[in-house]
Amino acid sequence: MKYIPITCLVFYTFLFANCKKQDSAILPEMQQDEEIMMGPPPSGPGFNTWYQRPDLPLTGMGRYGAYGFGASGSVYFGGGFGADGNSHKDLWKIDTVIGSVWTQQASLPGLSRGGAATFGMGEKGYVCAGYHLVAPPMSSESKLLKDLWEYDGFYNTWKKKAALPGVARFYAVGIDINDKGYVGTGSISVSGQHLKDWWQYNPATDNWVQKANFPGTPRAGAVGFTVNLDIGYVGTGSTGSGVLKDLWRYTASTNTWVKKADLPGPARFGAVGLAAIGSGFIALGSVGSTYLDDFWEYHHDTNTWEQKPNFPGGGRDKAAAASYGNVLFIGTGSKNPPGSGYTKDFWSIKVN
């Protein structure tokens, strides 16, 4: 899959119409609620059925390249690129009990961004790297990022943490394994310079350690998910000249990688990866100008895939996703034709 150079990202948007001490933390902003009843509660009856949730309450068009994470028993979504040619830094929480209320949270205090890597652990969510996009006439201020921010869902506050030691990047993978975060792969340019390094973050010491490189082809827009306290997976993505469907298992205790069964569906870029009930899930993405709506479960114990009900919101790539228990939330993203279909709808499915 070919990319448009970073300096052209803004023009692409228009041409195609498309520790918990509050005194040391960033204080929260005013909250806003929006309530819409749509479908049963996320934790209610009905497995393997998609239900539409309220749209992310944004003004105007939606987003692509937004991020999602779980923290404090809730799921959060924010940031991303908009049709205005800018990246954004707002953060929203959706009620996971009824599934009908969005509440605006404290905005990320660092630079706005899209294509960030995220992971969540306990009450904390983490946003790392990404691309800060600024529309003309200030587009020269656009740049890649490598900073790390910790969000405390209990206090609704942010703290800046140690930056990723590797190069700045966007569309990297982020996962958590046994109370440590992992970030790797990604792109240092939308013209095709991709990465395969792999880094471990320890929140207890605010320290990064480089781990064994990802052994697959360097890539961006891949997905990751974690199935237990020792094992995570990375797969799919774009090499800059093509898209991939491979899957690789990372074992944290031995710092080793092993190739596993390929995704049976099409190769893809910009999919979403999620974990629940000891399984991994991959959905959506694009190959060329084709936007995908398929949804797959990976059975870790048997190294097999099972196709699940297609995502009903329509094919898209660069969506945001997060899970709460056995409920998966997916929304936003870019639909065909490129640039004219930035979305803000959200959907949930309970898996078993």
Q: CA–CA separation, 145 vs 164, rounded Å?
A: 9
Let me know: does 49 contact 349? Beta carbons within 8 Å.
yes
Superfamily of domain 6-350: Kelch-type beta propeller (2.120.10.80)
- The two three-digit tokens of residue 32, written as one number: 């806003």
Per-residue pLDDT of the chain (352 residues; tens, 9 = 90+): 433 333 333 333 332 233 333 333 333 333 444 433 455 667 666 789 999 999 999 887 899 999 999 998 899 999 999 989 999 999 999 988 877 899 999 999 999 999 999 999 999 999 999 999 999 988 899 999 999 999 999 999 999 999 999 999 999 999 999 999 999 999 998 666 899 999 999 999 999 999 999 999 999 999 999 999 999 999 999 998 999 999 999 999 999 999 999 999 999 999 999 999 999 999 999 999 999 999 999 999 999 999 999 999 999 999 999 999 999 999 999 987 655 689 999 999 999 9
Let me know: does 29 contact 106? Beta carbons within 8 Å.
yes
Specify the pLDDT at position 11. Answer: 31
Instruction: Please state, in angstroms and as integers, the Cα–Cα distance from residue 310 to each residue in 50, 111, 314, 350, following that order.
Output: 9, 35, 9, 13
Helix, coil or strand: residue 305: strand
283 has which bridge partners?
272, 295
Let me know: does 285 contact 269? Beta carbons within 8 Å.
yes
Q: CA–CA separation, 294 vs 4, rounded Å?
A: 26
Question: Could you tell me the pTM of the whole model?
Answer: 0.88
Helix, coil or strand: residue 137: coil
